[in-house]
């Protein structure tokens, strides 16, 4: 058994993140010692590692929760469907970021570097300039 600080070190997870996952129901509330300290076991560390791996793949908490529910139950079809949907979100974000890159490169190309007035600043101030969709700056799934 280990306390939260030990679990944090073992899994390279900030204590606040562990508490957040508990509040979100991704980690079960652990038993406590008489002094009120949370105590965790190897299964908690394994579950936290699973959660962290999902998050490193940019899965949101809803997706992580769904995968946790499927774990160990032979639900390959559901897991495949969830992963395929996530891949679709990632592909859409990549396309949005590529469009953003094209817009930025076009804006940068407006200024050759030897002009007295920078066309980049003028281009940003143009009233007809499009505002990028929110998909450029994060994921919306």
pTM value?
Answer: 0.74
**For the chain, which residues make up each domain, given as ranges?**
2-56, 76-136
Confidence of residue 113 (pLDDT cuts 50, 70, 90): low
- The secondary structure element, H or E, covering residue 3 is strand 2-3
d(CA 119, CA 125): 10
Distance CA 102, CA 99 (A): 5
Task: Give the model confidence (pLDDT) of 65-86 as tens digits.
Answer: 999 999 877 778 999 999 999 9
Return the pLDDT at 115.
Answer: 65
C-alpha span between 72 and 63 (Å, rounded):
16
The topology (CATH level 3) of 2-56 is Multidrug-efflux Transporter Regulator; Chain: A; Domain 2 (1.10.1660)
């Amino acid at each position: 058994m280990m306390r939260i600080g030990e679990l944090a070190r073992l899994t390279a997870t900030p204590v606040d993140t562990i508490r957040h996952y508990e509040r979100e129901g991704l980690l079960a509330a652990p038993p406590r010692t008489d002094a009120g300290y949370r105590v965790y076991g190897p299964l908690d560390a394994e579950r936290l590692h699973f959660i962290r791996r999902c998050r490193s793949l940019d899965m949101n908490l809803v997706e992580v929760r769904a995968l946790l529910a499927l774990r160990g139950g032979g639900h390959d079809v559901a897991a495949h469907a969830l992963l395929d949907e996530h891949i679709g979100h990632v592909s859409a974000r990549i396309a949005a970021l590529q469009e953003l890159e094209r817009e930025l490169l076009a804006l940068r190309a407006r200024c050759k570097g030897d002009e007295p007035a920078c066309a980049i600043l003028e281009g940003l101030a143009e009233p007809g300039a499009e505002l990028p969709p929110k998909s450029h700056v994060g994921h919306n799934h």
